[in-house]
Amino acid sequence: MAGNLYVVAAPSGGGKTTLVRLLLENEPEVQLSISYTTRDPRPGEQEGREYHFVDSAEFRAMIDRHDFLEWAEVHGNFYGTSKKWIADRLAAGADVLLEIDWQGAQQVRALFPAAIGVFILPPSMDELTRRLTGRGTDSSEVISRRLAAAQAEMRHVGEFDYVIINDQLAQALDDLRAVVRASRLSLVAQRARHAALFARLI
């Protein structure tokens, strides 16, 4: 595996989507895996940009064909990651980022033990509540469900390699970029990316 696989997870409202978007703007070598989902598009979302939107029947057919590296049901909707696309990109030396939940992260680590896990925490439950309410896209019932699930989700933080507390966005972005830069300099990564140089020098 020549490329690095980053798995970024957070409770709903943790700021994962914003951080990942800013990371991709600042680290163009990192490619985002576009997940499949059965949930309806939110205002402004486009097919193939935020997600591949499919119905439940198609999603289940993809499960039966073993098309997914990982898949999970989250808040009543299904989400999944294309196994072939990930493998092809990593083999070509690309860095790939998965923006998924802890359930998906467990499945990915089982197949790609070298995947680099990053968990994003909010600075407090009060701030998490404020962020979810401020979106204005979800009903109070949905928000209550997400808050109830958030604490259970955060108990899985111990399964990840790095933890970023998303209090100040600029600092959190610097921290996430630092993880990406440092992982590229590991012995395993450098040996894979610069095999010819290692052969000549060592």
The pLDDT score that the predictor gives to residue 89 is 87
Q: Specify the 3-state DSSP secondary structure of 37.
A: strand
Three-state helix/strand/coil letters over 84-149: HHHHHHHHCCCEEEEECCHHHHHHHHHHCCCCEEEEEECCCHHHHHHHHHHHCCCCHHHHHHHHHH
Residue 1: the pLDDT is: 55
Q: What is the mean pLDDT of each run of 10 residues along the chain (202 residues)?
A: 89 90 95 93 91 95 94 89 88 90 89 93 90 77 86 94 96 97 92 92 93
Range of the domain at 26: 5-201
Domain count along the chain:
1
CATH number, position 187: 3.40.50.300
Strands 116-121 and 162-165: what pairing? parallel
